[in-house]
Chain A
Amino acid sequence: MADADEAAQPPDFGEWVAARGPALQRFAYLVTRSADDAPDLVQDALARAFTRWDDLARRGTADAYVRRSIVNANISGWRKRRRLVSVAEPEEYVAAAASTDAAHDDADAAWQLCAELPAKQRAAVVLRFYEDLPFAQIAVILDCPESTARSHVHRAVLALRARLSESEPTS
C-alpha cells in the first residue's frame, strides 16, 4: 500500500528540476544558439512552471510546458532582434547557400542552416532530430497543428538537402 501511495504522488518540483535541468538547458541552447541565454530562458520557464506545478505534475505535462515556455520566450526576443530568412521557399534559399565554404561537412551545414531558421522552425527541427519526438508531441509543445509541425521540419530538410546538393562536386 505504501508503494502504491508513493507511486501516486506527483514528482517533487526540486527533484524534477535536478533531473531534467541539464536536458532542458541543452534544448534551450539548441533553440537559441546562445550559451548565455539558454540558462536564463530555462530559469524563467521554471519560474512559470512552478506556479502551476501541482497540476503539471499530476497531468505529466511539465516537460512540454517548460519547453513550450522556452520556445515562446525565445520567439519573443528573437523577433525583436533579428529579421530572419524563412525557408518556406527552399528554392530561394539555394542562391544564398552557394557562397558557403565547400569544406564544411554535412553537420556544419546543418548547424549553419539552423542559425538561419525562424525560431519556431528551428525548435521543430530540434524537437524532431535531437529530442526524437513524434510530430504529435512536437505540435503540442509548439502549440500548432501537427501538419504545421511536419511542414516546419520537412521544409528545413528540403532546404538542407538543396544546400548539400549544391555543395556536391560535379563530375
Chain B
Amino acid sequence: MNDLETRAEQAFRDALSRQADAFETISLTPVRRESHARRIGLIAVAASLLLVLGTAVGVALWPRNSADRGPVEDTAGPAAGWRYESYRDVQIEVPVSWGYERGPRSDWCGGRDDRHPTEPYSDVFNRFDGVEAVGCMEEAPDPDLHGDGVPKRYWAPHVKFLDPELSAAVPDGTTAAGGWTRIVKTVGSTRVWVLADAEHLDEAGRIVESARVVTVDHSGCPVTSPIQAKAWVRPSEPFDVAAVDKVDSIAVCQYAMAEGTAKPGLLASRLLEGAAADDLLDAIKAAPVGGGPNAPENCLHEPSPNPAEVLRLTWAGSTGEIYVYNRSCVNNGFDDGTHRRELTRDACPLLWDGRVTYTSASSGPHQRCVLTR
C-alpha cells in the first residue's frame, strides 16, 4: 500500500470518527410485542393502556344476536364503493375510500408527528408486529376511545380487527364522547372495532353491521389452513407450477403460523387477477428451484409465531396451493409440493398490498421480499 492509500484510509477514519462524535444520540427503548405478555426487561411504559369504561358517557350495548348468522360463502359481492376485508373467520365491508395505514398505538410519540394517518383507514397492524415501548408522557384522553393513550389530535376514523383475548378490557357496544364514536362488536372468533367522527358515523355503523362469519372469504381463502400448524408443512396436494401456463386468479392468503389448526388463523387476504396474477405466476416460475435464501446458523429451526402465506392458484377449473415461508432462516421459498423455489426480488414483493403486509424477518428473505426498486 502506498502513501496515498494510507492517507486515504486515515482520511476515512478521521471523517467517520469526527462525524460520529458530532452526532447526538437519543435514548432508545426496547420493543415489546403487543400480542404477548413476555418479560423482556422493559423500561416502564408511561402511556395509559386500554381503560375499562365506566364513566357516564352513554354506553349502549350492541345487540349481540342481530348479526349472528351462520357461516356463509359470499356470492353477491360488496356494495358499489365498498370492498371486503377479512380476519380469522369474519368478513366485513369497508368503504373503498378508506385507505390502508398503520395506526398509532402506545408508541404514538416515537417518530415524526406527520407519520400518523389523518384520513379514514383500515388498520394494517397485526398481532405479530412489534410496538415500541416508549414512555409517551402525555395524559391519555378520557374516555380513551382510541385506546393506547393516543392523543385525540392523532385520531382518524378507522377500522381494525382485534383478538378477543387482547381486547377483553373493552366491552362490546357503542360509546360516544367529544364528537367521536367507538363501536366494538364480537363476531365469530374476532372483534370488529371502528372509531369514527360525526362525518363518518354512518359508514362506521354500516361496517359493523356488515360483519359476518364465513368459512371461505371474499378472496377464496379458507379461514383455516394447514400452514397454521406448529411444524413446517408442505402442500398436501402437490402440483407443478411450471406446468401452469396462465392463471385465472391468485389469492394471497395470509395466516398465523405456529398457532395450530384448531381455530381460524386467516389474518388478511387479497385477490390478484389479470396482469397482476400473470406477473406473479411468471416470477414464481422463473425463480430457481431449491428454495431459500436460508441461513440455518442464524436462528432456531422451530417455526415461530409469524405470518405465512398460501397462494391459491386457479386455472382452467383447477386449483393449486403454494406455501410461502419467508420470515425465518430456514425453509424459505415458494413450495408447490413438488419443488421449492427461491424467494426472489421479482416475486416476493408482489405479495404485499392492503392488509397483507410484511414486517420482521431474517435478513436473507427480508432482502428479497422488501421492494427495492
A interface with B by C-beta (< 8 Å): 12-15, 17-18, 21-22, 24-26, 29-30, 35-36, 38-40, 42-43, 46-48, 50-56, 59, 61, 65, 68-69, 72, 75-76, 79-80, 106-111, 114, 125-126, 128-130, 143, 156-158, 160-161, 164-165
Contact = CB atoms under 8 A, between A and B. Distances in A.
11 contacts: A26-B25, A39-B26, A39-B28, A40-B111, A55-B298, A55-B299, A55-B300, A106-B15, A107-B15, A130-B20, A158-B8
Interface in B268-315: 297-300, 304, 306
A36 B366 CA distance: 23
Interface stretch (B40-48, B165-173, B223-231, B246-254): B40-48
Given A50-B30, A55-B300, A76-B370, A164 B25 contact: no
B117 to A, nearest CB: 17
B8 A157 contact: yes
A72 B366 contact: yes
Nearest to B302: A55
Interface stretch (B187-195, B210-218, B318-326, B356-364): B356-364
Contacts of B43: 14
Which of B10, B24, B363 counts the most chain A CB atoms within 10 A? Answer: B363
Given A61-B298, A111-B15, A161 B4 contact: yes
A79 to B, nearest CB: 5
A77 B199 CA distance: 36
Contacts of B23: 25-26, 29, 35, 38
Given A25-B28, A39-B25, A156-B12, 19 more contacts: A12-B41, A21-B27, A25-B26, A29-B23, A47-B129, A47-B359, A48-B130, A51-B304, A51-B306, A69-B363, A106-B7, A106-B10, A107-B14, A114-B15, A114-B16, A129-B12, A129-B16, A130-B13, A161-B8
A17 B28 contact: yes
Chain B interface: which size bin?
A: 35 or more
A157 B367 contact: no
A51 B297 CA distance: 16
A75 B367 CA distance: 9
B335 interface: no
B55 interface: no
B66 interface: no
Interface of B: 4-5, 7-20, 23-33, 40-43, 110-112, 128-130, 132, 297-300, 304, 306, 359-364, 366-367, 370-373
Contacts of B11: 106-107, 109-110, 160, 164
A76 B373 CA distance: 8
A47 B33 CA distance: 9
Contacts of A54: 300
B42 A14 contact: yes
A12 B30 CA distance: 10
B33 A50 contact: yes
A43 B188 CA distance: 35
A26 B363 CA distance: 21
A22 to B, nearest CB: 4
Given A38-B23, A107-B15, A143-B367, A47 B31 contact: yes
B28 A42 contact: yes
A25 to B, nearest CB: 4
Contacts of A128: 12
